[in-house]
Amino acid sequence: MKEELRRVPFECRSCWHVWEEDYLVRQADARDGGEVWLRGGVPVTPPSVTEMCPRCGCRQAARFPEGYLARHPELTRPAGRAASDPTPLVSPVPKRRRWIEG
């Protein structure tokens, strides 16, 4: 039996929020084609389009292929607001003044 961590990206079809869910996938007997999906150690249904949007709560999500967001980082950027953007907007200017003034 093998376990694999999978990060599945979703996009809400209602508010276009993009988020990821971490799952642990336990491969059961190959003859069953069985996969057991766990989230937080609890068996859950495999990710599907009924996944609930954490922002608006609707259940109309699109599932992206794994790793999709790594290739499209622009999707996770908040549209119009920088609330969750960890990059500081303040530029490191102060130390340069001495250099400019000589």
Residues in touch with Zn ion (CB under 5 A)? 12, 14-15, 17, 53, 55-56
Shortest distance (Å) from residue 91 CB to Zn ion: 34
Of the two residues 1 and 83, which places its CB atom closer to Zn ion in the complex? 83
Cβ atoms 22, 5 nearer than 8 A: yes
Give the separation between CA 47 and CA 96, rounded to whole angstroms. Answer: 50
Of 15 and 24, CB closest to Zn ion: 15
The neighbour count for residue 91, using CB atoms within 10 Å, is 7
Least separation in angstroms between CB 5 and Zn ion:
25
Q: Measured between alpha carbons, how far is 9 from 72 in angstroms, rounded to an integer?
A: 11
The nearer residue to Zn ion, 34 or 78, going by C-beta atoms, is 78
